[in-house]
Amino acid sequence: MADDDLDTEAPFPLDDEPVKEERDPNTADIFGAPAAVQTPAAVPAAPVNAAPAGAAYTVIARKYRPRRFEDLIGQEAMVRTLTNAFTSGRIAHAFMLTGVRGVGKTTTARLLARALNYESDTVHQPSIDLAVEGVHCASIIAGRHLDVMEVDAASQSKVDEMRDLLSGVNTVPVSARYKVYVIDEVHMLSTAAFNALLKTLEEPPPHAKFIFATTEIRKVPVTILSRCQRFDLRRVEPEVISKSLEAICRLEGASVDEEGLALIARAAEGSVRDAQSLLDQAIVQADHGQMVTGAVVRDMLGLADRGQTIGLFEQLMKGETAAAIASFRTLYDFGADPVVVMLDLLEHAHGAALAKMLGPDALHLPRDQASRLAAIGAGASAGTLSRVWSMLLKAHEDTRKAPDPVAAVEMALIRLCYAADLPGPEEALKRLQSGESLGAPSGGGALPSPGGGARAASSGGASYAQPQGNLRPAPQGTAQTVLQSFADVVKLIDSKRDMVLKLDVDRFVRLVDFKPGQITFATAEGAPQNLTQRLASRLKEWTGRPWTMVIEGGGGGAETQYELQQREAAAFRAEIEAHPTIMALMSAFPGAEIVGIKRASPAGAAEVEPAPDEGEDD
């Protein structure tokens, strides 16, 4: 081949010239070689809280899950106990972790699994100090260690699944020190599964450890509990949660003000996971770099402003009905839940009572809010605050069940405004006895002082007595043989304890005329047919002489004893209701009613038995 046969337009590259790759840049290499990466001139720095491009976002609750026992917040007592146990070598073979959601039960179980199998270049025994990652820590955290089995009892609750799990408990661990069985939500196991676990849990092999976690400790059989070392993980205080959230915000580069963090910590109700989830939601409420305020968090949670609800509580305690209803409607228009408003009022009633007894520092609230509740507590008695609490508790229940919660709250506010500052029955009685005003919210000056009528005071309150006849039955053995009036007949029947005859005579006999040995009367409607026969027979038996019963028709005759007693009782009640003291009490407590009236003998009166006749033998 001649040299001129070569293509001069496409010369071969020289050794010192760079080789240009002739390929489509968008086509991957057939052998899977990575495409050439071009480094840009300048890449803007990603925000701290932004996830890498193309990576799935990890929520805060998972991102900041504790990796050491020192990172567990609010569980210092449990950590101290475990530290002493591991240091002294007194490690139990089974642990029961219980507590409400989000306090760290599952996290503690995984930390315990790491601590039991901790191994490093210098440490060759179980250790609580997990600052340096051990040989098995990474695989245990990732959940792929062969000797650490984590089971969710909610999905594997049957006895066959428990038997399969325990089938290899007697075999030695593959690489770790212990075989660790972590069973979450253990209360979901069936009774048969618990029974299958029981024998192994009672006499486990030395290389097996069990860690249980549950939110329903009462559903776990006592036979299981008695074989475990139990740890109750407590609810975390809002102040501790708030400090933890503040530290997370610094790491995330987010800005949430102190009030917003306090609202989140309060809404979490002691659950760290709930608080972290709410913080995750709150951070995205504002643009990056902007402050998330308490108002934004409150709107996110659907809460009413605490300062406004304290103002509403102040209006309730002052009896300002119109202002209280207007304040509630303002809160409702801004999105406050009526049930949450009632919960806030309940909390304020509790806070006022607590501040009254222990001082405002016991409330763990901002100083201005604590001082306002303390002022309310100082101006009200403990009995008043207790009654307000009871009324709010009932109002909260009514609001939850009512078809219209707003109407239920407004009716509750009306009741509270009217009755919140009323004195208690004991205090009202003392004021009335001394002639003081009850200070009812309806105003109108002092109530009239009690006057007129007989009043006898006792240790349990007061009763109003009226002179009345001696209606006591005659003693046994002193039955009268000569009856001078119909009243003597009634007393004789009463003394003989013939209650059926006594009731029939009281209800159905309308006296027309009485003579010794003869009674003329008319019967009321519904009278028994054998009434006259029974009455005549009994009187003859008791007096020793025959009695004649004359029945008159036409509905005549006087009142029956029952009708007479009812009329006297009605007249006595009317007299009591007209008494100035009772009228003052009824006006001070609108809606109250007199349930019953108890007659009392005058104070100091002693009953004296009649002296026997001088001529009567002993």
Q: What is the pLDDT of residues 280-336, one digit of tens each?
A: 889 888 887 788 888 888 778 766 667 788 889 998 888 888 999 999 998 888 778
How buried is residue 411: exposed, middle or buried, by Cβ count under 10 Å (0-12/13-18/19+)? Answer: middle
Task: Assess whether pLDDT exceeds 50 at residue 341.
Answer: yes
473 band by pLDDT with thresholds 50, 70 and 90: very low
CB-CB contact of 95 with 210 (8 Å): yes
Report percent pLDDT > 90 for the chain: 16
Distance CA 55, CA 44 (A): 18
Range name among 40-44, 144-148, 237-241 with the lowest pLDDT average: 40-44
- Lowest mean pLDDT across 9-13, 458-462, 468-472, 513-517: 458-462
Residue 594, classified by CB atoms within 10 Å of its CB into exposed (0-12), middle (13-18) or buried (19+), is exposed
Report pLDDT digits (tens) over 502-551: 888 888 888 888 888 888 888 887 788 788 888 888 888 888 888 888 87
Statement: the pTM of the whole predicted model exceeds 0.85: no
What does the pLDDT look like over 400-457, one tens digit per residue?
999 999 999 999 999 888 776 566 666 666 666 666 655 544 333 333 333 333 333 3
pLDDT over 70 (residue 213): yes
* Predicted confidence (pLDDT) per residue in 66-84, tens digit: 888 888 888 888 999 999 9
CA distances (Å), origin 209, targets 12, 390, 568, 599 = 72, 50, 83, 75
Domains and CATH numbers, the chain: 61-232 (3.40.50.300), 238-301 (1.10.8.60), 306-419 (1.20.272.10), 486-556 (3.30.300)
Instruction: State the pLDDT at residue 531.
Output: 83
Bin 599: left if φ > 0, else alpha if -120 < ψ < 50, else beta: beta
Give the model's pLDDT for residue 612: 47
CB of 72 closer than 8 Å to CB of 108: yes
Residue 606 has a pLDDT of: 44
Name, in order, each residue with C-beta under 8 angstroms of 436's C-beta and a sequence gap of 6 or more: 446
**Distance between CA atoms of residues 156 and 162, nearest Å:** 8
HSE at residue 484, side-chain half, CA atoms within 13 A, is 0
What is d(CA 395, CA 408) in angstroms, rounded to the nearest whole number? 7
β-bridge mates for residue 229, sequence order: 95
Q: Give tens-digit pLDDT for 141-171.
A: 888 889 999 888 888 888 888 888 888 888 8
Q: Give percent of the chain above pLDDT 70.
A: 76
The pLDDT confidence band at residue 571, using thresholds 50, 70 and 90, is: confident
Let me know: does 168 contact 149? Beta carbons within 8 Å. Answer: no
